[in-house]
């Protein structure tokens, strides 16, 4: 069955855009890091990497960070994207859940002991990121990010199963899963604290209101990715995407489901703006303001990058031979 062409919708976001002043240096650092770990070995691969604009993403979501901090956060973002493409979404899309399981277990091994990583570019890059984390963050923030990674790896298990079975979960199940696979609340938002060198004290970060506004921001980022990557992802049977889940839940065509997804995105954005203002009124200090500003720049920066990157260009899926035969 042919997936109907979906228009790229306008997503409401009244947050002002921002860009790190050293964005070009961040972008060149990103390409150099990809070369170092063997992700880029040819001119064609470099062109693909530059079209993905990983450095621009880091410069947009961390516009106020220190240059070393933003470069380090950018390395994490690239690693997360590339290992997901290869070992999670890629492998499970082929029905190869064993590869997903082996990869996740090796990742856990490296997080616990980065000194002797298993073979492979993904593991060596992860080991280097883990070793240098102690240079960028205090012990409580190290543990905060490691806990976020554990949550992300745990969520990729059911994600891989859904992908491999070509099964679309219920909308509520998908929303719960997406909060972890998007790796924001205890992941990328923690990296923003590291990049700005302005960590939020654990006693404040753990409060219900900070967690509530962080989860709202995470949902917005996830919805943005799903809506703007929909034309690419929905080419796959059983695609794990907000649009697909809405279409199944409401028994409606994909264009109508896309409209519902856009409405959800707008609803969450309005809720975030209210929640962020409430947090600032109650905790008007530099660290809290910096944290909330980091949520804002992630929401806006991810949107602007998603509209510019080549990652969400529609490509025909390469199906396993058994499925191609059918």
Let me know if 200 is exposed, middle or buried by CB neighbors in 10 A (0-12, 13-18, 19+).
buried
d(CA 132, CA 49) in angstroms, rounded, equals: 24
pLDDT tens by residue, 106-119: 999 999 999 999 99
d(CA 240, CA 160) in angstroms, rounded, equals: 10
pLDDT tens by residue, 24-39: 999 999 999 999 999 9
d(CA 125, CA 170) in angstroms, rounded, equals: 35
Looking at the chain, how many residues does it have? Answer: 326
d(CA 264, CA 276) in angstroms, rounded, equals: 18
Which run of H or of E encompasses 321? Answer: helix 321-325
Instruction: Please work out, in degrees rounded to the nearest 5, the angle formed at the alpha carbon of residue 77 by the alpha carbons of 130 and 285.
Output: 85
pLDDT tens by residue, 173-192: 999 999 999 999 999 999 99
d(CA 242, CA 72) in angstroms, rounded, equals: 30
| The token pair that represents 326 in the structure block | 């059918």
Let me know if 234 is exposed, middle or buried by CB neighbors in 10 A (0-12, 13-18, 19+).
buried
CA trace torsion 5, 259, 273, 62 (10° rounding): -10
pLDDT above 60 (res 316) = no
d(CA 26, CA 77) in angstroms, rounded, equals: 12
At residue 323 the predicted structure's pLDDT band, cuts being 50, 70 and 90, is very low
Question: Which top CATH class is 23-310?
Answer: mainly alpha
pLDDT tens by residue, 116-157: 999 999 999 999 999 999 999 999 999 999 999 999 999 999
């Amino acid at each position: 069955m042919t997936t109907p062409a979906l228009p790229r919708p306008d997503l409401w976001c009244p947050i002002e855009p921002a860009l790190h002043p050293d964005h070009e240096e961040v972008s060149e650092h990103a390409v150099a890091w990809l070369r170092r770990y063997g992700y880029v070995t040819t001119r064609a691969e470099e062109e693909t990497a530059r079209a993905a604009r990983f450095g621009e993403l880091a410069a947009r979501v961390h516009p106020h960070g220190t240059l070393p901090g933003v470069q380090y956060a950018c390395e994490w973002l690239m690693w997360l994207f590339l290992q997901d493409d290869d070992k999670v979404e890629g492998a499970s899309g082929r029905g190869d859940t064993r590869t997903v399981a082996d990869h996740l277990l090796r990742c856990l091994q490296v997080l616990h002991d980065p000194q002797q990583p298993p073979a492979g570019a993904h593991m060596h890059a992860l080991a280097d990121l883990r070793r240098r984390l102690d240079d960028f963050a205090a012990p409580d923030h190290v543990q905060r990010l490691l806990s976020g990674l554990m949550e992300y790896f745990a969520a990729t298990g059911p994600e891989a199963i859904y992908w491999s079975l070509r099964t679309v979960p219920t909308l509520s199940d998908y929303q719960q899963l997406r909060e972890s696979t998007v790796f924001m609340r205890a992941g990328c938002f923690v990296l923003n604290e590291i990049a700005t060198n302005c960590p939020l004290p654990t006693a404040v970060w753990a409060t219900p209101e900070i967690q509530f506004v962080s989860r709202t921001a995470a949902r917005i980022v996830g919805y943005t990715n799903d809506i703007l990557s929909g034309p690419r992802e929905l080419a796959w049977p059983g695609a794990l995407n907000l649009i697909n889940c809405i279409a199944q839940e409401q028994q409606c065509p994909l264009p109508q489901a896309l409209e519902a997804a856009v409405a959800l995105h707008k609803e969450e954005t309005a809720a975030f703006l209210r929640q962020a203002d409430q947090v600032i009124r109650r905790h008007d200090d530099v660290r809290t303001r910096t944290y909330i500003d980091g949520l804002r720049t992630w929401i806006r920066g991810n949107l602007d990058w998603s509209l510019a990157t080549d990652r969400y260009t529609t490509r025909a899926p390469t199906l396993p031979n058994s499925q191609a035969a059918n």
